[in-house]
Amino acid sequence: MTYRTVANILPAHPLQMGVLTVYQPLPTQRVDQIDPFLLLHHFGPVEVKAGGRDPLDVGPHPHRGFEPVTFLYQGGIRHRDSRDNTGHLRAGDVQWMTAGRGIIHSERGSREFMEAGGTLEGIQLWVNLSPEHKMVQPRYQDLKADTIPRVDLGDGASLRIVAGNFGGLAGAAQTHGAVLAWQLSLPPGVSIDLPVPEAYNLAAYLLDGGVAGSSGFENPARTLLHYLNDGTGIHLTNTAQTPARVLVLGGEPIGAPVVSHGPFVMNDQTQIMEAMRDYKMGKMGFYVEE
């Protein structure tokens, strides 16, 4: 295996969204996108009091032209959208939503979680769609934790295959492009080699600190490693005294122009104007609470 070189080390910057602190390593001024990945938000961990205020509480809003994906690590989330989908995510679940031609949705702390209280933590990832898939019909995939394939890598390390393939196993999510999303767990002191497709752009987000690459340089928590396309795999070591979690992301680059405006990601400004018009005209559906 030839190890890939880290091209950019991108620390996540905190953003305040209401009462919730969100950490954003992508996009940055240095790296606008890692094609096909457009945005990564790490929210939490935040402690929620039983019966307290919902720190998430993202009301109805539209999307078009990409796939918003939510990886829930702790807590509970309730999803509702204009296609009459309702999802209740618990720790370990993943929500893979294809906005396509347009969808309106909300995400809030689930009733069960808000009543009991606890820790809320997750990642939202925006995956771009190619020009031929920008206007596909919306799709909602509610991937429960026990349906996501898991591989034992030895020494206590494990890998959950949300999307893509690993070791002959296919991921749980259906995707429109060639994409991989793997959730890696590394015990203290354990090293691992992961083979990756040579044609894929690649990144690894470190939720927990003390993870070193093949160079031996230790990277802290909430850091995104962006790799060059110069090898067949990556090497990771947990140098901390506590377990480490890593989200490994890869995909074939789309290579098309990206023009975005708020919740819409298209290929030119005319398409953005059409998205705004279609939303106002109700062509993305109508959101109705349960």
- Residues within the annotated binding site for Fe cation? 61, 63, 105, 107
CA dist., res. 229 & res. 212, Å (int): 19
Tokens standing for residue 65: 């032209």
d(CA 111, CA 97): 21
Strand arrangement of the beta sheet that strand 118-128 belongs to? 13-17, 20-26, 37-48, 118-128, 66-74, 94-98, 139-143
* Nearest Cα residue to 203 out of 232, 220, 227: 227
Question: Can you tell me the distance from the alpha carbon of 281 to that of 284, in angstroms, rounded to the nearest whole number?
Answer: 8
Annotated binding site, which residues? 61, 63, 105, 107
Q: Distance between CA atoms of 113 and 90, rounded to whole angstroms?
A: 9
246 Cβ contact partners less than 8 Å away, ≥ 6 residues apart: 183, 184, 186, 204, 205, 206, 207, 211, 236
d(CA 127, CA 189): 32
Is residue 25 within 8 A of residue 40, CB to CB? The reply is yes
Both tokens of residue 192? 């691992």
